[in-house]
Structure 1
């Protein structure tokens, strides 16, 4: 048996296993001579290093070799630290010394928030794997990410798109409604992830979008439980590589947030203390659960519980505990594992075990929240180690955003978490690493990464999806398409993009034949002193007289026919601008080039609204946060869309 200490950091090819060559004496296993990774550096092939053995035997062998501290380390899903002290692990490289220290603590699952060119990204991840290979047992690193292939970027929810193909928002996929397209997206995005050394997608969001003011709805598949379920299932199949679970070359999905996250009064999000409670009842809760069915049926490798406390819900005749989803045993051990038969990894959302001091609960202008980030809802006053114990016993296998195993170890040593529960979680974490093939070769080809990520053929498919995902709501006769050389006044659209589309941008409305105005859905910064509140679109949805966008549209429409395109990251109230628009688009992740392709007729709109658009702010305020599409007299109903123009 040939011992291999490492596979190299670039262009390393995994040796073909199972090829019969000169005999060698290997007890209890076929006599073959082949390369193997000597992960524990003892000069012989141990069962967990032997790729010929069944996965369960490899896991059993490794668990027997691990110390309690190493098993506890597996239960953390930390953050790869950014070089130069970059907060939250952002930047273009990792702090390798800090990463080594985390690995030495036994932590070997991490989120990456790097924004680097593909070759650099791959090299950074390879370097981390090399550090992991040098640890006592050589356990490889699992690297996860928030979504990277869309437009909206919010810290803690999505990552900047640098080189990765750019697709419609998930709401845009919902506007198209095509499962095969979502599955194809998953396959292509997964290839990009694996090319740079990412193994886990902290997605999809199977949350049901029922409260129109909620800022996280842009990453969902809309408001219809059946459609959300279908498309989330397709997402899982695409990323993981099959309809029945994870394949070796796939990317593990973590479907989230179990369950009821979209039902937050006033849309105030559960990342914030003021948004910690959801308002549901048993009937609405069943709709939110229904949205997860197909993702679970497709064998999603992981599930992430919600932050919120789901008030108004009963399970087996008893009210759910008034604690967040990560501490809620009936939600995880009962509804998810027992009732839905889920056997995979349960990963908590980030920072649920952190302390939430005054700066977290009630920040002020003079004392803002800063980086005092914590979401321990319902257990704020428990000691930290007791939060870990409660979460582990509720069914959490990995605690997200945690780099220090000491509080969890303290809970184990105090008898608050049993060794059996630790072993159960450790086996799930290790099983996933083996399924991904990481023990046999965790390295990627750095030069090949630059060819896979941002491949022009992939982006061409993404552009086609963007064109298909947009919704035409109104169009007066004869306004579309805009003919070449039309003189157009622009707002919110770059002149260079219009010129590339064959139009003639002009500086004033007096010179124009038509106007094209692109605007965002209205929003407010209701909670500017909170970390997430200052980064999320909250508050009202309605265009009002005096708003800059409303006045721009009115001024243009008074002079020339005006085409209006609204980026619908939330369901805007368009009542004040509807009558002024000669044509009205709802956009769900579109480049300026894609918008111009639509208005010039180079592409035809195919999308239909994935949620209703309310008619007034009063209707929004009166609807129930847990029920889909229930506002009075909506301006546009879900499914609206003019196609073929």
Structure 2
């Protein structure tokens, strides 16, 4: 608690009584309903939807204290009941939320995963608490992606009843802008139905280091494809080709820029993954991947955690700090060269302190929730990290909820008041543009109807079928004819029965084997919070792997369909000759896979990245350059589309 920046919360009973008394004394012409957000009984400029947004902004900014403006620059976390850390659960801790709102913090990420009706109720409860604050500023509620298969703490959320689509890599495999825009429109409707107004997506990162665990949420390795599809994503979510409409969802395109170029694929959430290796030529490709999203006027941009080595801007080496602290990256390249005018939100926890337990955790002292990513500024005081980020161009700091250090930096003259006012206006403008000052509440019955509806899921299933890639089909094995006897490994027996296949207990008894496996990975950093949850390390199938043994056992007896979930570019050299038919999957249920195998649907996908031929080729490629391994087993764009 920070007493010096606490703001009064009004009780609902008092608010109702005051509103009633004022209404009784107002002339009839003034009695039209309005949201009396500051509880003074009259319609002030910022409460009047008939005024232009700039006039409403001017009126509200004049009423705000410095403390309130500074608090707008934080994007906190809505904690769950009985939980700790990152906020996963089924209901919010309302006391915690009220505490944050009392500090003036009113932008939050949600990681809840309840049913849609409950989700809408919970978000309405947050808006009710926000309405009771001194100025009644509504909450902006954001989310990481929650409509795909991959779920990783700190990167994506459980679906919670939302429609389930292929991974964005799968969208890249299809390559259809119209489909991505349609996806964005449908998912935005789901978000708004439950009271979420901001998507911390898309990832316009270029997937150039094949071992990188975050690549599954990108649009692949080709800058032109990433740019094109990320732009479609923004248009779909925001509702137009010219920026955000009131009914849309504000997108925050990330991570500016070079995140996908980390040696060995070690991720920037971790101290050991804080460096990206680039050169000016490859850096230009990573920048170009953002062009489509910026052209579509994404409401926000999120700078990356990592420190870009080997890069110059305007002939000068970039500072060796994370992009959230880099004025050349934000004010220079993003705002100056690229003319970006929206909100810049830092990635989470860049101003936190990273102690030894964060940098080098051990079995005895694992990292736990000592989460911080202040890369390149580890030795600065917390107050000075805030100052450096704000002066570099950060409008809002993600994953933090204590305004005191930033306020101290402002009062000490380390951050100009003009910078605070500029950031506050951008944060508030977004709330106005989303219509939150006029009505932040959602219809809970509508949420239950919209989220994960049968019609939306049918479109998602169609996309899942199209997104998969057929790499081999020797002797025309697929599609299988009806009534085939199959031996399964890694595939649901119920899904196979529903597909009309006959299950047998061993490959010897089968006509065909169907084996589904994951891309290999290792847990190289088990004591790090994120390292223990991410897929790191090798990509190659080896003889001793259980997945390889399953394929070999089946292929020795019967023609075998092998399906590999490609969250990273697997080395399939050992499997290629054993598989009669070979699929690369980018987010598919077993039912969808079997629809493809049995010919009820046809895959349309082409690889969104190359598949290397060996571990040596992976190790020798440049982490910043797309598709540059020696003698790839399959090239980007490979894929068989059956007639």
Q: TM-score, normalised by structure 1?
A: 0.95
Aligned to 1:164: 162
Distance in 1 of aligned mates of 2:480 and 2:70? 62
1:536-575 matches, within 5 Å, as 536-575=534-573
Aligned to 2:172: 174
Distance in 1 of aligned mates of 2:589 and 2:30? 55
Aligned to 2:637: 639
Aligned to 2:37: 39
Q: CA deviation at 1:85?
A: 2.8
1:46-82: CA deviations, max 9, x gaps?
0000000000000110000000110011000000011
Aligned to 1:63: 61
Distance in 2 of aligned mates of 1:406 and 1:507? 64
Q: CA deviation at 1:88?
A: 1.1
Query: Is 1:294 the equivalent of 2:292?
Result: yes
Counterpart secondary structure, 2:405:
helix
**Residues 147 and 202, structure 1, Cα contact 8 Å, conserved in 2:** yes
Aligned to 1:396: 394
Aligned to 2:376: 378
Distance in 2 of aligned mates of 1:329 and 1:573? 39
Distance in 2 of aligned mates of 1:260 and 1:7? 48
Change (3 A) 1:122 1:85: same
1:416-456: CA deviations, max 9, x gaps?
11111110000000000000000000000011100000100
Q: TM-score, normalised by structure 2?
A: 0.96
1:124-151: CA deviations, max 9, x gaps?
0000000000000000000000000000
Distance in 2 of aligned mates of 1:478 and 1:348? 51
Aligned to 1:495: 493
Which residue, 101, 121, 125 being the options, matches 2:119? 121
Change (3 A) 1:579 1:7: farther
Long gaps (5+) in structure 2? 1-9, 14-25
Q: CA deviation at 1:32?
A: 6.8
4+ residue runs over 3 A deviation: 5-8
**Residues 607 and 636, structure 2, Cα contact 8 Å, conserved in 1:** yes
1:498-548: CA deviations, max 9, x gaps?
000000111112211110000000100111111100000000000111111
Aligned to 1:13: none
**Residues 11 and 132, structure 2, Cα contact 8 Å, conserved in 1:** no
Query: Is 1:224 the equivalent of 2:222?
Result: yes
Aligned to 1:21: none
Q: CA deviation at 1:86?
A: 3.8
Q: CA deviation at 1:83?
A: 0.6
Distance in 2 of aligned mates of 1:393 and 1:478? 61
Aligned to 1:506: 504
**Residues 6 and 37, structure 1, Cα contact 8 Å, conserved in 2:** no
**Residues 348 and 400, structure 1, Cα contact 8 Å, conserved in 2:** yes
**Residues 170 and 221, structure 1, Cα contact 8 Å, conserved in 2:** yes
Distance in 1 of aligned mates of 2:11 and 2:639? 56
Which has the larger displacement, 130-139 or 357-366?
357-366
Aligned to 2:70: 72
Change (3 A) 1:36 1:641: same
Aligned to 1:593: 591
Distance in 2 of aligned mates of 1:469 and 1:261? 25
Aligned to 2:473: 475
Long gaps (5+) in structure 1? 9-23
Distance in 2 of aligned mates of 1:419 and 1:106? 17
Counterpart secondary structure, 1:535:
coil
1:471-510: CA deviations, max 9, x gaps?
0000012311112211100000011000000001111122
**Residues 526 and 532, structure 2, Cα contact 8 Å, conserved in 1:** yes
Counterpart secondary structure, 1:85:
coil
Query: Is 1:341 the equivalent of 2:324?
Result: no
**Residues 12 and 132, structure 2, Cα contact 8 Å, conserved in 1:** no
**Residues 85 and 369, structure 2, Cα contact 8 Å, conserved in 1:** no
Distance in 2 of aligned mates of 1:639 and 1:79? 40
Counterpart secondary structure, 2:379:
coil
